[in-house]
Amino acid sequence: MPPARPNWRTLRPLIFAGVGLLIVTGALIFGIQAVGLENIRRFIERAGPFAPLIFILIKMLTYVFAPLTSGPIQLSAGVFFGLLPGAIYTLIGEVVGGSIAFWLSRRYGRGVVRRFVGEDGLTRVDQFVDQIVDWRTLTYARLFLFAAYDFISYAVGFSHLPFRVYLIVSAAAGFIPTLIASMLGTTISGDAGALLPLFVVVLGLCALPLAFQKPIRRLLKMDKTRAA
């Protein structure tokens, strides 16, 4: 039998995400040039500890109110706070916000979740419920489906996975995509010439698991069957 070809339709979300990321990146570069990077950093310094707290709160809200987009916030973390602090603040906001989403769906059910994500958002949540079955599929989602992890957090609350598994995977595996996003942000505020190669690498890393998600899922199911 000929080898299975990847379903390129699965790359459509990545294409839309890539175009959106380019638009957001261009807007951030324009904003930084208009306001001035030093002015931005002086404002952050004057805000003191309130700056990271406000950033974490905003990031957390984008996970609870899932229709809110978090792309600009992801990139701005590296611009405002630097590589490692930006990644840590982003991760804290995502883990706290995702945990709230988890418990909202687990404790209060679909009616309450619908109020936070809307009808279309609830449809997206339902699409993930049967796909996230153990810590391996959750790790896969955390690494490569990070753009939809707010909806996934609600979906895991509907599943039988324990909260400790969700928390560990969200924090441990989530550090990688948040670090990459923060790195993109620092590149925007630094050498713009290095932005395009880094952008291509990030999209390539995301494209591979999306293009071959069917064999990856089959492999995960095989491993689960053997473990049982």
Q: Per residue in 92-128, pLDDT tens?
A: 999 999 999 999 999 999 999 999 998 988 988 998 8
Contacts of 101 (CB under 8 A, 6+ apart): 63, 64, 66, 116, 150, 153, 154, 157
Give whole-number Cα distances, 124 to 67, 119, 153, 202, in Å. 11, 9, 11, 24
Query: What local confidence, expressed as pLDDT, does residue 24 receive?
Result: 59
Q: Print pLDDT tens along the chain (228 aa).
A: 444 444 445 445 555 555 655 665 566 556 666 666 677 677 777 878 889 999 999 899 989 987 666 666 777 888 888 889 999 999 999 999 999 999 999 999 999 999 999 898 898 899 888 888 899 999 988 988 887 899 999 999 999 999 999 999 999 999 998 988 888 777 766 544 545 555 555 555 555 555 545 555 555 554 544 444
Tokens of 6: 């990847």
Q: Determine the Cα–Cα distance for residues 123 and 117; give it in Å rounded to an integer.
A: 9
Q: Per residue in 153-166, pLDDT tens?
A: 999 999 999 999 99
Q: In whole angstroms, what separates CA 136 from the centre of its chain?
A: 17
Tokens of 218: 């089959």
Concatenate the DSSP letters of all residues of 179-225 into one string.
HHHHHHHHHHTS-GGGHHHHHHHHHHHHHHHHHTHHHHHHHHHHHHH
| Claim: this prediction has a pTM higher than 0.85 | no
DSSP 145: -
